């Protein structure tokens, strides 16, 4: 009996020993990099390593002039905590950086790890000669580096987009790559669409090994590690003008636009100069009130802005020949509250007479059920207008991947219903187009009829500054309007501003002459409308196309025109300043 008990006890002991050995094998040999989602090697190294991240390795965005839009590199001074336990030439460093050595000592005494030397609340910014002199001294634990910092001022947040940690999505996107589960990836905007090019290959950091008491383990040498690939990370040069973008965002904020969008395009290149969406995004809670949505890329009810399409189709198809239209009637035949009398086609456009375009719309659809679609595409309003093409091994790459396609009809049967056609002709019913697409239509007209894709990125560059890929200008369609039609549309858009009763007459006193079209669209919400003004300037030599839309606002409270006017003024002032400096 005793013998049997001993055998059982010994067997249990052996099983426990074998279990412990198996566990050690698992920890030390098998699951060292994936033990319950933890990389044991990394964690063990981290326990005995003091380090400072200099650069997280992710690619960056810059504006058209190379100004940073996401983060910048500040030349500054790194100090390691073991300095407070050794004699080092602090006086020399204090002299070079022009800072009392007591201030340096105090910051070191408070340090629990590597620190950036600060002057008040800000890191000190070194001059090139200071960096060179500091690093020539070869003092262990004293290193001058270019440290990566997020910009305090955020630019074009809806365009650039958000970063976030999502281990599941990270694994789905990058199955073939070994990345830390804490690697941030793009979840919206350009950060998302360019993520495959921007994802880091590794961090740049300063580090040294310590023992259990925090003392240097292998001497005082600090190791500098960086990405192995000398060409990465990639920099994306956008078409954004950082200064103009800042002005646009400030103007929107000053006028308190709660919901809407602004798009400013360069007419010649069709590049986005500035793009903003309201409300502004709070990165601490970006999805509150749907603030993360880029409303400039989402289809909205355009109202009378759509009359440009009807006007173009009517002109091309010979429906305009000096006749007058009854502007005392609504599109359903009922009397208008504000009587405007019999008006010519040109006046009807200037004062935005609904009945004129309802009648023309019905005639056009009677000729061809697809008439609105055909001319919307010729004007660069449909389908999507953002740049699209093959990039590297990505087919149909779209930088503005959140752009949604507009539409004119939801139910084809509406093309046979006169009232539905009339409502569609004035940009109501089911018509939906994005502010970006409307801006593209205005740029197409201003440019003389050539519809182009809208660019947000100019090129991608390697770390050494050489070009990796260029986003060439591309046609949106080769099917253009006749030159006489474009000339007439330009006259009509100028008349909106210059006519005494024109809906854009408030812009007559601006430093640039403006051509454009207003729009007031019913939203389906009681007494709330979308207020648009879309146009280009200077009218005689177009350089910019501009669209401002305030969504779901009380008509009397609209700030659309005020924002449009202030952006035109800001553009003028910046150009004058540039000319004077030049």
Under the banding of pLDDT at 50, 70 and 90, the label for residue 222 is: low
Please tell me the least confidently modeled range out of 33-37, 413-417, 419-423: 33-37
Under the banding of pLDDT at 50, 70 and 90, the label for residue 354 is: very high
Under the banding of pLDDT at 50, 70 and 90, the label for residue 218 is: very low
pLDDT at 225: 63
pTM here is 0.88
Mind giving me the DSSP string for 339-391? Answer: ---EEEHHHHHHHT-HHHHHHHHHHHHHH-TTHHHHHHHHTT-SS--B--EEE
Supply angle C-alpha 391, 435, 185, rounded to 5. 45
Alpha-carbon gap, residue 341 to 561, rounded angstroms: 26
- List Cα–Cα distances, 231 to 179, 182, 402, 448, in angstroms: 19, 23, 29, 41
Q: What is the pLDDT of residues 416-454, one digit of tens each?
A: 999 999 999 999 999 999 999 999 999 999 999 999 999
Alpha-carbon gap, residue 147 to 77, rounded angstroms: 9
Residue range 366-394: mean pLDDT, rounded: 96
Residue 387: pLDDT above 80? yes
204 versus 375: the higher-pLDDT residue is 375
User: Within a 10 A sphere around the Cβ of 106, how many other Cβ atoms?
Assistant: 11
Residue 40: pLDDT above 60? no
Phi first, then psi: what are they for 527, rounded to 5°? 65, 15
Ordered strands of the 60-62 beta sheet: 60-62, 235-238, 457-461, 467-470
Residue 43: pLDDT above 50? no
Contact indicator for 349, 320 with CB cutoff of 8 Å: no
50 versus 312: the higher-pLDDT residue is 312
What average pLDDT does the structure give for the chain? 89
Residue range 540-561: mean pLDDT, rounded: 94
Under the banding of pLDDT at 50, 70 and 90, the label for residue 46 is: very low
DSSP 115: E
Alpha-carbon gap, residue 76 to 147, rounded angstroms: 7
Cα-trace Rg, the chain? 32
Secondary structure element (H or E) that encloses residue 243, with its range: helix 242-254
100 versus 19: the higher-pLDDT residue is 100
Residue range 153-164: mean pLDDT, rounded: 93
Residue 211: pLDDT above 60? no
pLDDT at 360: 98
Please tell me the least confidently modeled range out of 84-98, 386-400, 564-578: 84-98
Contact indicator for 471, 457 with CB cutoff of 8 Å: yes
pLDDT at 508: 97
Q: Which of 192, 304, 348, 352 is catalytic?
A: 304
Please tell me the least confidently modeled range out of 205-214, 350-359, 444-453: 205-214
pLDDT at 288: 79
**Three-state SS at 36:** coil
Reply yes or no: is the peptide bond before residue 233 cis, omega within 30 of 0: yes
Q: How much of the chain, in percent, has pLDDT values that exceed 70?
A: 89
* CB contact set of 292 (below 8 Å; sequence gap of 6+): 158, 162, 188, 281, 286
Contact indicator for 41, 191 with CB cutoff of 8 Å: no
pLDDT at 45: 44
Under the banding of pLDDT at 50, 70 and 90, the label for residue 159 is: very high
**Mean pLDDT: which of 107-116, 184-193, 208-217 is highest?**
184-193
Q: How much of the chain, in percent, has pLDDT values that exceed 90?
A: 66
Q: Hey, what domains does the chain have and what are their CATH numbers? A: 50-68+156-238 (3.90.1310.10), 71-150 (3.90.1310.10), 242-282+298-581 (3.40.710.10)
User: Pick from 496, 392, 516, 500: which is nearest to 443 by CA?
Assistant: 516
User: Within a 10 A sphere around the Cβ of 123, how many other Cβ atoms?
Assistant: 18
Please tell me the least confidently modeled range out of 9-18, 51-60, 474-483, 539-548: 9-18
pLDDT at 277: 97
Tokens representing residue 467 in the block: 């070009």
Please tell me the least confidently modeled range out of 281-285, 441-445, 563-567: 281-285
Alpha-carbon gap, residue 75 to 312, rounded angstroms: 56
Tokens representing residue 96 in the block: 């070079």
515 class by beta-carbon count within 10 Å (0-12 exposed, 13-18 middle, 19+ buried): buried
Residue 518: active-site member: no
Residue 457: pLDDT above 90? yes
């Amino acid at each position: 009996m005793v013998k049997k008990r001993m055998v059982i006890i010994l067997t249990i002991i052996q099983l426990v020993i074998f279990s412990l050995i198996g566990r050690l094998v698992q920890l030390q040999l098998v699951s060292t990099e994936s033990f319950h989602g933890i990389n044991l090697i990394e964690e063990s190294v981290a326990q005995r390593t003091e380090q400072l991240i200099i650069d997280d390795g992710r690619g960056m965005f810059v504006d058209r002039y190379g100004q940073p839009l996401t983060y910048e590199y500040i030349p500054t001074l790194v100090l390691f905590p073991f300095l407070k336990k050794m004699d080092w030439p602090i006086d020399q460093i204090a002299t070079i950086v022009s800072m009392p050595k007591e201030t340096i000592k105090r910051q070191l005494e408070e340090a629990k790890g590597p620190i950036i030397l600060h002057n008040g609340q800000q890191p000190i910014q070194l001059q090139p000669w200071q960096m060179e002199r500091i690093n020539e001294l070869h003092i262990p634990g004293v290193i001058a580096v270019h440290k990566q910092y997020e910009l305090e001022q955020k630019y074009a947040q809806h365009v650039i987009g958000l970063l976030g940690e999502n281990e599941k999505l990270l694994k789905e996107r990058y199955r073939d790559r070994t990345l830390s589960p804490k690697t941030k990836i793009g979840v919206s905007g350009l950060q998302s669409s360019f993520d495959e090019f921007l994802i880091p290959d590794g961090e740049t950091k300063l580090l040294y090994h310590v023992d259990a008491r925090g003392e240097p383990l292998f001497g005082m040498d600090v190791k500098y590690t960086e990405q192995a690939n000398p060409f990465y990370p990639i920099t994306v040069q956008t078409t954004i003008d950082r200064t103009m973008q800042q002005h646009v965002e400030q103007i929107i904020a000053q006028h308190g636009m709660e919901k809407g969008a602004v798009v400013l395009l360069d007419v010649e290149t069709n590049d986005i100069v500035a793009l903003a969406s309201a409300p502004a995004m709070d990165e601490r809670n970006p999805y509150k009130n749907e603030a993360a949505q880029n409303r400039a890329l989402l289809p909205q009810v355009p109202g009378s802005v759509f009359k440009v399409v009807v006007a173009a189709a009517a002109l091309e198809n010979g429906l305009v020949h000096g006749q007058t239209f009854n502007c005392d009637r609504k599109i359903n035949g009922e009397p208008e509250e504000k009587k405007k009398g019999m008006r010519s086609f040109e006046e009807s456009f200037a004062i935005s007479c609904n009945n004129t375009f309802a009648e023309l719309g019905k005639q056009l659809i009677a000729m061809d059920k697809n008439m609105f679609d055909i001319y919307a595409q010729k004007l660069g309003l449909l389908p999507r207008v953002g740049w699209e093409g093959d990039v590297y091994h990505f087919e149909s790459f779209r930088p503005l991947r959140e752009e949604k396609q507009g539409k004119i009809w939801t139910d084809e049967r509406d093309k046979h219903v006169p009232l539905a056609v009339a409502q569609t002709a004035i940009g109501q019913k089911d018509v939906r187009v994005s502010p970006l697409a409307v801006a593209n239509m205005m740029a197409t007209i201003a440019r003389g009829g050539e519809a182009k894709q809208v660019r947000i990125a100019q090129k991608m560059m390697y770390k050494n500054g050489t070009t990796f890929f260029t986003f060439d200008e591309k046609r949106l369609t080769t099917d253009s309007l006749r030159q006489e039609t474009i000339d007439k549309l330009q006259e009509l858009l100028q008349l909106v501003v210059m006519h005494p009763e024109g809906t854009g007459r408030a812009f007559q006193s601006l430093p640039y002459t403006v051509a454009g079209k207003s729009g007031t669209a019913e939203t389906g919400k009681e007494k709330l409308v979308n207020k648009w003004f879309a146009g280009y300037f200077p009218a005689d030599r177009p350089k910019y196309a501009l669209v401002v839309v305030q969504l779901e606002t009380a008509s009397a409270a609209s700030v659309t025109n005020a924002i449009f006017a202030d952006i035109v003024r800001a553009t003028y002032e910046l150009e004058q300043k540039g000319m004077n400096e030049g």
